[in-house]
């Protein structure tokens, strides 16, 4: 085994640098500079691995298709682990819990998705529902269907979550209009819109944190 592999076996993966971990995944065949070249091409950010396309990845440092495919598979496995861990959450304590739940799924998407969490009065999750899937610029959400489903589930609170593929988390005019429609429609049935969260690569936006929800 390589020195990095020996250290991982003895001290755990946390003891290795980003470059050493990449080298193990790439099985660099005596080319330790390959991981360094790859990191440099990504601006030093491992998060970029989840966004870069396969064609660009295989060209980095002459990595080739086989290594690029192996790396993308490793990144996808990591994303699925995070998504499954987040999906095990059954009670919401804060908006950060919701962001942590959806970021692994949404952060690298090239199109918009909108999800709704239906909650009890004690913030226990009754259901997670994808309410729409759209294009790069937006998605269509019917506020009436969201309220209808909340009534069917006897939910007393809802949280709306969607992503911005553009990378900026700031809400658009339609985002604000949708939030207002859902909040007003839900209030007619004593259902509270707890928050509307926007997830993007640059961060996240909370309507409640920004004072845009009562």
Whole-number pLDDT of residue 146: 96
Query: 77-129: per-residue pLDDT in tens?
Result: 777 777 676 566 688 999 999 999 999 889 888 889 999 999 999 999 999 99
In a domain, 211, yes or no: no
Kindly state whether residues 94 and 179 are assigned to the same domain.
yes
Domain finish residue from 60, 84, 108: 84
Whole-number pLDDT of residue 181: 94
In a domain, 185, yes or no: yes
In a domain, 213, yes or no: no
Kindly state whether residues 25 and 68 are assigned to the same domain.
yes
Kindly state whether residues 120 and 14 are assigned to the same domain.
no
What sign has the CA pseudo-torsion 134, 140, 144, 150?
Answer: positive
pLDDT band at 183 (very low <50, low <70, confident <90, very high): very high
Domain finish residue from 84, 103, 138: 84
Mean pLDDT score, 182-188 = 96
pTM of the model: 0.67
Mean pLDDT score, 118-142 = 86
pLDDT band at 138 (very low <50, low <70, confident <90, very high): low
pLDDT band at 31 (very low <50, low <70, confident <90, very high): low
Whole-number pLDDT of residue 1: 60
> Contact at 8 Å (CB) between 126 and 91?
no
Closest CA to 159 of 128, 134, 199: 128
In a domain, 189, yes or no: yes
Q: Could you list the residue range(s) of the whole structural domain that residue 191 is in?
A: 90-206
Strand pairing category for 192-200 and 157-163: parallel
In a domain, 214, yes or no: no
Kindly state whether residues 103 and 9 are assigned to the same domain.
no
In a domain, 129, yes or no: yes
Domain finish residue from 84, 101, 132: 84
Q: How many domains does the chain have?
A: 2
Kindly state whether residues 121 and 103 are assigned to the same domain.
yes
Kindly state whether residues 160 and 75 are assigned to the same domain.
no
More confident residue, 32 or 17: 17
In a domain, 11, yes or no: yes
Kindly state whether residues 192 and 96 are assigned to the same domain.
yes
Mean pLDDT of the chain: 85
More confident residue, 30 or 196: 196
CATH number at residue 105: 3.40.140.10
Query: 36-91: per-residue pLDDT in tens?
Result: 777 777 777 777 777 777 777 777 767 788 888 888 787 777 777 776 765 666 88
- Give the residue ranges of DSSP H helices in 3-50: 3-11, 18-26, 33-41
In a domain, 212, yes or no: no
């Amino acid at each position: 085994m390589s020195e990095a592999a020996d250290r991982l076996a003895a001290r755990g993966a946390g003891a290795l640098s980003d470059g050493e971990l990449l080298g193990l995944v790439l099985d660099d065949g005596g080319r330790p500079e390959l991981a360094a070249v790859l990191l440099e091409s990504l601006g030093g950010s491992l998060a970029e691995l989840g966004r870069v396309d396969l064609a660009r990845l295989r060209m980095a440092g002459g990595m080739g298709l086989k290594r690029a495919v192996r790396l993308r598979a490793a990144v996808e496995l990591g994303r699925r682990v995070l998504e499954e861990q987040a999906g095990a959450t059954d009670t919401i304590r804060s908006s950060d819990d919701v962001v942590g739940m959806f970021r692994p799924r949404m952060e690298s998407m090239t199109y918009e998705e909108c999800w709704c969490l239906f909650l009890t009065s004690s913030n226990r999750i009754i259901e997670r529902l994808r309410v729409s899937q759209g294009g790069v610029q937006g998605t269509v959400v019917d506020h009436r269907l969201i309220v209808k489903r909340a009534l069917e589930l006897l939910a007393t609170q809802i949280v709306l979550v969607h992503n911005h593929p553009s990378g900026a988390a700031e809400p658009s005019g339609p985002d604000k209009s949708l939030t207002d429609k859902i909040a007003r429609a839900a209030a007619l049935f004593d259902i509270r819109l707890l928050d509307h969260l926007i997830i993007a690569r640059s961060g996240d936006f909370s309507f409640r944190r920004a004072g845009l929800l009562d």
